[in-house]
Structure formats: structure tokens, C-alpha cells
Amino acid sequence: MRDSVAATVSLVYLARLREVFGAASERVETPPEVNTVGALRAWLAGRGGAWAIELAPGRAVRIAVNHDLASAETPIHAGDEVAIFPPVTGG
């Protein structure tokens, strides 16, 4: 259960999303109600612009928490590293 305080989370943006967001990474203070991947995605989409476009519901975005692929329900804790990236194209 999250304390009712803001939490510092590290965000990492990869590939095409790094280019459209204009940053490779940032640290954010998330409000207490932003305690899942889904809530974080909606919170970032609220920034508008490229964030609203790329993180809109239904867009094919992948999110990982501490190097593990996450779902919308995955919880987020202070100190976590959350990566946001497009569908992968290796091999």
C-alpha cells in the first residue's frame, strides 16, 4: 500500500518514443493515486501533445517496471524504473 506521499519514479523512453517525447529519461514525482502502470500512463498522457497521442488508450505501447514487462495493473513504487517503448523489432 502506497503512503499518501509523492513517489519519485525514473522514466526511460526508448527508440521512436525517445524521439517524439524529446527525452531519453526523466525523474518524476508521482501523486499517491498514480500507483499502477495504467494510472501512470494516463497521468503522462495528461501532459498533452505527443504524450496524449502516443499514450492514448489502444495505442500499441509496451511498459516495463524494473526490467519486467508490465500490465496496466502492475503496481508502481517509489524508486522504480519504468520504461516506455514501442513494440519490439529485433532479430
Partner 1 sequence: MPVRVQTDDFDAGRELTALRNADRAVGAVAAFIGTVRDVNADAAVTSMTLEHYPGMTEKALCAIVDDAKARWDIADALVIHRVGALKPADQIVLVAVTSAHRGEAFAACEFIIDYLKTRAPFWKKEDTPAGARWVEARASDDDAAARWHPPTQPPG
Residue 27 binds partner 1, judged by CB under 8 A = no
Least gap, CB of 74 to partner 1 (angstroms):
14
Q: Name residues contacting partner 1, limited to 42-81 (CB under 8 A).
A: 60, 64, 67-69
Residue 84 binds partner 1, judged by CB under 8 A = no
Euclidean distance between CA atoms 20 and 13, whole angstroms: 10
Least gap, CB of 63 to partner 1 (angstroms):
11
Q: How far is CA 44 from CA 50, 51, 52, 89, in A?
A: 10, 6, 8, 25
State the CB neighbour count (10 A cutoff) for residue 77. Answer: 11
**30 in Cβ contact with 7 (< 8 Å):** yes
Q: Which residues bind partner 1 (CB under 8 A)?
A: 12, 14-16, 60, 64, 67-69, 83, 85-91
